[in-house]
Amino acid sequence: MSRRRLLTALCTFTLIATATPAVAAPAATAEPRTLAPACSERPRELPIYEFTDHRELGIELDRIERVSEGRVEVAQIGRSNRGREIWSARVGTGPKAVLLTSEIHGNEKTGTDALLKMLDWVGTSDSPKARRWRDRLTIVAIPKMNPDGAELDRRGNDLSWQEVVASNPQLRHSEPAWNYYTEPRQGDDYSERPGFDVNRDYNPDLNYVPRATDFPGSSAQPGWYITPEARAVRDVYRGLAAEFGEVDTYVDLHHQGACYVMPEDRDEFVTLSVSGRFVDDPATTPGYEKYAGRYDLDYSKRLNVAVYNALRGAANNRPVFGNVTLYPQDLHLPGTGLGSFALNGSGTVLFEVRGQTQTLGQRHRGMLTRAVNIGLDGMLSAIASGQVDRLDPADYDRIPPRGPNIGTATPTADPRTLLEP
């Protein structure tokens, strides 16, 4: 694995996995509230070998396809810029299409493991719930959509602007896209192997062809489909929309900073944040009016409520699963997959799991992967049963907002434009 971390193990790092709430002493002997645990966002070179790499993913998908006896169908939907396969796995024959993607950022890895667990279960189980999912849903998962970034364990892919221009000669006089990384970011040096934030390369116009006048663009504008990874997902989405009339639900699995705390208890770290809102209301946003008739924010809110309810229910047995918050809602990111596909009529769900690999490594891998599985289970069950339509979208607005980041050496870049989601 070739990469450079700006800050090495010489940097001190103290991180306590799951804070334990302080227990109040009797009034007569009450002591000051315990300070929040130390936490750092300082990038480090940390072990990640327990996560599923590209080679292992291929082996595991092959195994799941085989043991499912045809229920799970694995297909290559494209290749990364460096020639690595991008795979999808499809299971179910139901009328509602659900598209799930993970690891668009190569240092955000728990979603890949969660999708493999989900595919294995729904493809092999004969339980009533699994049969209901297969009968009523068609689930398509893309477990590792940025394999080059994943192998480098970094956010961006492995693609130079010169390579983009070679494939799109109409851009030869354009400035590089605003989301092109050539400098250090999150502890990785992109100067020798530049790349793009693939999650700013989507466009709600699914037939868009890059135009020189649209560069370099900005976070408030759509992307261009100049990366092979975004094009591969776009093509799957477009195919499902043609087959089913619409993609009912789109879910993107991400990570956020390691040191966000609950809004009313700063001794408790956020396990996971969710969101269903990524763009301004197209009905009142100049240039986006044509998408207003299909945009359904209320449905996205219901989907997120299903995720939230499932995790809160699981907190009865393990309280850390209840540390769920609402991701910031002041976003207009039409260049993200979530924003672009929401404008095309899909209900959308963002998972933001605690900590990227440069801050947590593989710490808490099992718990965080399980949190994603619980949330996905609650959402998919609600869609398959029809319960999602009976949920109140107003409950979405009552999900507690994410608390502050208490970490030291936090990134200085604006997370809405550069780091998250």
Per-residue pLDDT reduced to its tens digit, 395-413: 999 999 999 999 986 554 4
pLDDT for residue 398: 98
Name the H helices within 249-364: 297-314, 337-343, 357-360
Structural domains in the chain plus CATH codes: 44-419 (3.40.630.10)
As a whole number, mean pLDDT of residues 280-300 equals 97
Q: What is the pLDDT of residue 330?
A: 94
Among 2-16, 87-101, 146-160, whose mean pLDDT is lowest?
2-16
Least confident of 16-30, 56-70, 119-133, 219-233: 16-30
Q: pLDDT digits over 6-47, tens only?
A: 333 333 333 333 333 333 333 434 434 445 568 999 999 999
Distance CA 360, CA 358 (A): 6
d(CA 11, CA 409): 11
Contact yes or no for 324/275 (Cβ under 8 A): no
Whole-number pLDDT of residue 304: 98
Q: What pLDDT, on a 0 to 100 scale, did the predictor assign at position 100?
A: 99
Q: What is the pLDDT of residues 338-354, one digit of tens each?
A: 999 999 999 999 999 99
Rounded to an integer, the average pLDDT of 321-331 is: 97
Question: What's the average model confidence in pLDDT over 349-377?
Answer: 97
**How many residues in total does the chain contain?**
421
Which of the residue ranges 30-39, 173-182, 307-316, 328-337 would you say has the lowest mean pLDDT? 30-39
Q: Is 174 left (phi over 0), alpha (psi -120 to 50) or beta?
A: beta
* DSSP three-state, residue 133: helix
Whether 180 has a pLDDT exceeding 80, the answer reads yes
* Structure confidence at residue 267 (pLDDT): 93
The tokens describing 77, both together, are 């939907």
Residue with the bigger pLDDT between 8 and 70: it is 70
Query: How high does pLDDT run on average in the chain?
Result: 91
- pLDDT of 2: 40
pLDDT at 209 exceeding the cut of 60: yes
* Whether this model's pTM surpasses 0.75: yes
What value does the mean pLDDT take over residues 93-108?
Answer: 98
Strands 195-196 and 180-181, sheet pairing:
antiparallel
d(CA 368, CA 114): 9
Neighbours of 369 (CB within 10 A): 21
Give dist(CA 103, CA 141) in Å, integer. Answer: 11
Beta strand pairing call for 249-256 and 347-354: parallel
Nearest to 415 by CA among 337, 356, 364: 356
Cβ atoms of 391 and 306 closer than 8 Å:
yes
Of the pLDDT bands very low, low, confident and very high (cuts 50, 70, 90), residue 322 is: very high
